[in-house]
Structure 1
């Protein structure tokens, strides 16, 4: 079993919380953007750090998982167990609890969008944003769970990584991973609409795909970074922060973020900081649950209480953490208990 004596669980908890901050502005109807967006002239917002931080860590850990897995069936089984059990439950709860916030002349059980909500969102790629009559009078209308938009891109990254399975033991794998990062960087910066039509047919947006792929690939590249000197680590962290701040000041952050953010996230994540490294042991890996529950929680709070931005965050954060905790311990952790099913069969 891999040691969890690092800061990754803590970082993911922070990233999930950052997403909630930004969503508090959008869902409360505040159009000015979160404080980080205002501070950086809209170059970066808290949810930007949160979502891209998730993809950086995912690229780092998923690529390592591929290198260890017994076969493709083992790899995909673990990925499906990580995504779908919690997703199925949140979708089921949404449909079951939606009548409490339903406003329509059409009876709930006669509403066709009720019956398509779960199957469409289970496809990941052709997401149904809402159910007709649910949250349609909220400041942010027609969307029940806007956080789910990233899951199709996450799964796309899994598919991309799985293609490397066939060369995972080759000496040139490192070169391929670096070229993957470089090509995604070039596409993101210079050709973000390349194959736009093909992506649309798959329910994806090319700009999002290349952008998230670049951060994901950045995490993959850093699996090859071996720094055993704390002083060197601290120097890289400091330099990355300096470059990041200068880039924001010069309005060139979009060119440097694909290097500075992965370096900061992975090096800080790999550290084992006292207390921070115990987050996973104390509360579990709650970040995915927090992420998928926070948006509907915030929409429901706006429906019933009509909160301002600050109060929406204050109320929604602990509720999201609570549901993330329940989701991890009752659903996700139990599902992951079957993660070695295909590995055991391969041994037999």
Structure 2
């Protein structure tokens, strides 16, 4: 609503792609060799056994995860041969950004919540009739997109409500109650149907729960998301948390949080924040002065 079309896409791509690509590279050149040494005591065949490290990075570089494994690494874990099972969602997240970008070109969408509400209902109905999508010849990727898009579009609907009416306490509490009832009462698509209520309720909670200033200026959430899985796989590989009892599980989680936070902090300070600051400091295009033949 507040950005030019090109700037919107540039900002979204900058927020997602640089840290994602670095995560793929770090996995291939650091995590993978480390796992190979732990498992086999040697790096022999690491660079040449399919899926090779280069294939892992190159095949996934567009956000669509084609390969999850690297060579023989992680082959004996409870969740075998998967280096990052979280990254698959980013492709669909970016598709949602593109969808909103396309809708943003329509004056109707920019003036009213009606179109976003219609698209939300259509997406939810598409997910609810998943077998119909398959019968129409649409592949699993489209089915997944139909499953996730309603959450994004529900937030788009709520944007218009909050822009006009603000955030109301009673609406916030009621929204969370309605969302919980839909999720519990409606199998398969209740979560999608609850998306606007869930979004409104969570945004209301954000207005009453204090946020530490450090959190507001250091967004390590994305780094947590992209590094948590490989960190947890490596910790399982070295045997942490493998013992019985709650204490081993607690220690495993604490170590995973600390290591993941360290990587997320490095990602934020070295990759994400510098990339975003760079595009935000771009000089504005020269503005032509009518009839003067000069530019400001």
> TM-score w.r.t. structure 2 length?
0.80
Query: Match for 1:84 among 13, 17, 24?
Result: 17
CA distance in 1, matches of 2:138, 2:15: 25
CA distance in 1, matches of 2:137, 2:252: 39
1:133 equivalent to 2:72? Answer yes
* Alignment RMSD (CA, Å): 2.9
Check 1:228–1:165 CA distance in 2 against 1; reply closer, same or farther (3 A cut): closer
CA distance in 2, matches of 1:192, 1:344: 49
Check 1:156–1:171 CA distance in 2 against 1; reply closer, same or farther (3 A cut): closer
Greater gyration radius: 2
1:264 is displaced (CA, Å) by 3.6
Q: Which residue does the alignment assign to 1:29?
A: none
Query: Match for 1:299 among 227, 233, 238?
Result: 233
Q: Which residue does the alignment assign to 1:190?
A: 129
More helix by share: 1
> Does the 8 Å contact 1:138/1:302 carry over to 2?
yes
1:261-280 correspondence runs (5 A): 261-269=195-203, 271-273=206-208, 275-276=210-211, 278-280=213-215
Q: Which residue does the alignment assign to 1:286?
A: 220
Structure 2: 5+ residue runs without aligned partners? 243-248, 288-295
Check 1:78–1:343 CA distance in 2 against 1; reply closer, same or farther (3 A cut): farther
Check 1:146–1:301 CA distance in 2 against 1; reply closer, same or farther (3 A cut): same
* SS of corresponding position for 2:104: helix
Paired residue total? 274
Check 1:132–1:109 CA distance in 2 against 1; reply closer, same or farther (3 A cut): closer
1:144 equivalent to 2:55? Answer no
Structure 1: 5+ residue runs without aligned partners? 1-66
1:116 equivalent to 2:52? Answer no
Q: Which has the higher contact order (CA 8 A, sep 6+)?
A: 1
Deviations 1:9-67 (A, max 9, x none): xxxxxxxxxxxxxxxxxxxxxxxxxxxxxxxxxxxxxxxxxxxxxxxxxxxxxxxxxx1
CA distance in 1, matches of 2:210, 2:134: 46
1:1-348 correspondence runs (5 A): 67-71=1-5, 73-97=6-30, 98-102=32-36, 103=39, 107-112=45-50, 113-168=52-107, 174-191=113-130, 193-194=132-133, 200=139, 205-226=141-162, 233-247=168-182, 251-252=185-186, 254-269=188-203, 271-273=206-208, 275-276=210-211, 278-281=213-216, 284-308=218-242, 309-340=249-280, 344-345=284-285
> TM-score w.r.t. structure 1 length?
0.69
